[in-house]
Chains A and B, each alone.
Chain A
Amino acid sequence: MEENELIGLSQDNLLQFEPLFNRYFDRVFQYVFSRTNNRQVAEDLTSQIFLKILEALPRYQSRRPLAAWIFTIAKNAIYSHYRFTLHHPVQSLEEAGLIEANSASGSGGNSKDIDRYIDLENNINHLPIKDRELLRLRYAAGLSFSEIGTMQGKSKEAVKMAIHRILRKLESRIEVTT
């Protein structure tokens, strides 16, 4: 079913929200978790974000893409969280238990993959904050260039160019395995 139809269904009856929820849940959670690096905080924030989406959905207008609207809500929820939580320790992938958990379950790959993820994480963490945010929106939230552009008031081309530069920067620092 097309996204517009799903939006219409949900706006008519909020109990029909499930398909939209399933479409966006993983993307929102990955985005929030990668921003907070703390599972408990990410779970609490994701709950809040979807409650906000549910409450605001009847007023959503399709002038801007739904994904951009949803991730603006997510971004604001994260800001609010930081505003009221001054002391927020940030964890690495290992500290957050992600690598261990995923390698145990098989989804994280072998030890070579793990080394690569750690290397990638170190390099991402050395990028400027705005670059990290772009990577998250593109690869954690799975947004298209134009959706990111809508969120940030930029053209699709400008976003594409910015991400292109970031990838070049990363490529020069890490060994990319094909």
Chain B
Amino acid sequence: MKENENSADLSQALEQQLSAYFSLYEAETAFKANIEKQLVLHASQHLAVGSVKSKKRLLPDVFYQPRLKWVGGILFFIIVLLSLFAIHPVRAIIERSLDIGYIEGAGFVKVSETDILNGPTYSAKPDQTIGIDQVVADPKKTQIWFHSTGTKFNPEDTNGEFLAYLDVNGHKLPLVSYGWNSIKQEGIFGFGSLGMTMPMSFILHISPDWSIPIRLIPMGQISAGQSMTLYPDICQTHRDVELCLRAFVSDSTGYHLWLSGSSGNPIFYLQALETRNPLTGEEAILMDSSGHQLNQVYPSQLPMPIEVAPVVSDVPKEVSTTLSFERSTNDNDSLDFLVAGLTGKTPADELIMCEPGKNPGIGDQFPCEKTMNIAGELVRFHTGEITQEKYHGIILTLRSDPIQSSNGLLLTGVDLENINDYSSFTIGTGFDVRTKQLELWFTVDPANPETLYGIRIIDAYLTILEPFQLSWSLNP
């Protein structure tokens, strides 16, 4: 212990036993080394993003000089006008604002100076398969997304050293970063630069047993069979949340939409684009001009988007996603895209205390009256109930009255924080779609039946009830 505390009155022997007992819960060395590498990778990416964000300016520095700002503005305006009339009018604007491309299997990537894999590459041995999902190479770095099935993947030797490297025309390009998600069984390798543009083919050596030849193609050559349109201004706003269609890609596998959402509400923010309404279960729908509805292609077939513009912010307000739909046999001239509702989050500071009474038994119900305002919604809890659950043991559940919508937003869940004295009882939350009831539950400790259960509601999840409908013409 760090403090020089007087523990003479405590049993030193028991304290030693407790320390020894808890030290049994030790981590494996390999895990510690792996997490350390992941943190280094994460820190490097964080720094890289910060550096790009701080340095990236669309125009030369002269345009940002205060005294020359107006001159710069006029010059820039002239350049834009010339572009509009001299080149393809819409394309000029789009390319300036959205310098991205779409690749099957990769999603949307930055167009400039990027070489990519044409499709997944697999390499198999009797007990393991490694699939290279995508390679994105530019003069500064090469990143390889991969997954593994079968035996547990471990790219390290017995000393914990990485053996992976790229063989580029006989030159060894060492691994500089590595990330591995053991749940999804997928990872990312990062390699440095040779100081020149990467060649189109090289060999990935993961270990002495794994050498996978990789052949890239330049971004510019992948447009065959695909038509891609970028849209700078197809957006719709409800409750200060804007949903935009950024790009539409049509290829043999279907239609792929890149959507982005952003919140202009200072407290309401989006963490992810949930294109399924938690109340109605409705999915995002794509519909052609004749009313024909196209079905969404489910996640196993969705392209894997590479993050185009990572958002580094305390409060995420901008998110993007891609959705794929099956191809229509009709000749479409326009399409509608409908999202039933979007879910965002807002801070909500409310306290609820509940006392089940002495020696509560299974099946007992007791009053727990509390009406609170959570993110503008009036929520009334009235009764608590003690039940038994297979894995959690005894549970105390509080249910609210049905929650009525207001202002086009509906409360659909909350984030909780335990505020009791040292207690560590488990708390959970849910929202019953059918009854529109919010449900809070606590694990009850039978050895300590008189506990007053207290939680703080720290965040509220709100769903926007109005549907977003984005309409666009395919042949402008």
On A, residues with C-beta under 8 Å from B are 13-15, 17-18, 21, 25-26, 29-30, 33-35, 40, 42-44, 46-47, 50-51, 54-55, 59, 75-76, 79, 82-83, 86-89, 93, 98-99, 102, 107-109, 113, 116-117, 120-121, 124, 126-140, 142, 144-146, 148, 152, 154, 160, 162-164, 167, 170-171, 174, 176-178
Contacts and interface: CB of A to CB of B under 8 A. Distances in A.
A25 B404 CA distance: 46
A25 B27 contact: yes
26 contacts: A14-B46, A15-B47, A18-B36, A18-B40, A25-B27, A30-B25, A33-B25, A43-B31, A43-B35, A46-B31, A46-B35, A54-B46, A83-B428, A99-B24, A117-B24, A120-B17, A120-B18, A129-B443, A131-B422, A142-B1, A145-B3, A146-B3, A163-B10, A170-B14, A176-B11, A177-B17
Contacts of A82: 426-428
Ranked nearest first, the 8 interchain pairs of A and B with the lowest CB-CB distance are A133-B424, A14-B43, A128-B448, A140-B22, A33-B25, A130-B423, A144-B3, A130-B422
Given A139-B18, A144-B1, A26 B424 contact: no
Contacts of A102: 24, 26
Nearest to A30: B25
Contacts of B24: 93, 98-99, 102, 107-108, 117
A47 B26 CA distance: 15
Given A17-B39, A44-B182, A130-B423, A30 B26 contact: yes
Given A79-B427, A128-B447, A146-B3, A21 B13 contact: no
Contact of B422 (A14, A133, A171): A133
Contacts of A142: 1
Contacts of B183: 44
B420 A117 contact: no
Interface string B243-280: 00000000000000000000000000000000000000
Interface of B: 1-3, 5, 9-11, 13-15, 17-27, 31-32, 35-36, 38-40, 42-44, 46-47, 182-183, 314, 390-392, 416-418, 420-429, 443, 445, 447-448, 451
Contacts of B1: 142, 144
A152 B422 contact: yes
Given A55-B46, A171-B14, A117 B25 contact: no
A148 B422 CA distance: 9
Contacts of A109: 20
B13 A160 contact: no
Given A15-B40, A164-B10, A152 B427 contact: no
A140 B15 CA distance: 11
Given A17-B43, A55-B46, 14 more contacts: A17-B39, A29-B27, A46-B27, A79-B416, A120-B17, A126-B447, A131-B422, A134-B422, A140-B22, A152-B421, A154-B421, A163-B10, A176-B11, A177-B13
A86 B392 contact: yes
Given A30-B22, A83-B429, A47 B38 contact: yes
A88 B391 contact: yes
B11 to A, nearest CB: 5
Given A34-B25, A88-B391, A140-B25, A128 B428 contact: no
- Mostly, the A contact residues are helix
Contacts of B3: 144-146
A69 B371 CA distance: 32
A54 B428 contact: no
A162 B36 contact: no
Nearest to B46: A14
A140 B424 CA distance: 15
B10 to A, nearest CB: 6
Contacts of B20: 109, 113, 117
Contact of B17 (A15, A93, A116, A140): A116
Contacts of A89: 391
B428 A86 contact: yes
Contacts of B43: 14-15, 17, 54
Contacts of A29: 25-27, 32
A164 B9 contact: yes
Contacts of B423: 129-130, 133
Contacts of B10: 163-164, 167
B18 to A, nearest CB: 4
A69 to B, nearest CB: 15
A162 to B, nearest CB: 7
A83 B18 CA distance: 29
A35 B418 CA distance: 16
**A59, A99, A152 interface centre (most CB from chain B within 10 Å):** A152
A39 to B, nearest CB: 8
Nearest to B9: A164
A14 B13 contact: no
A55 B42 CA distance: 9
A115 B475 CA distance: 77
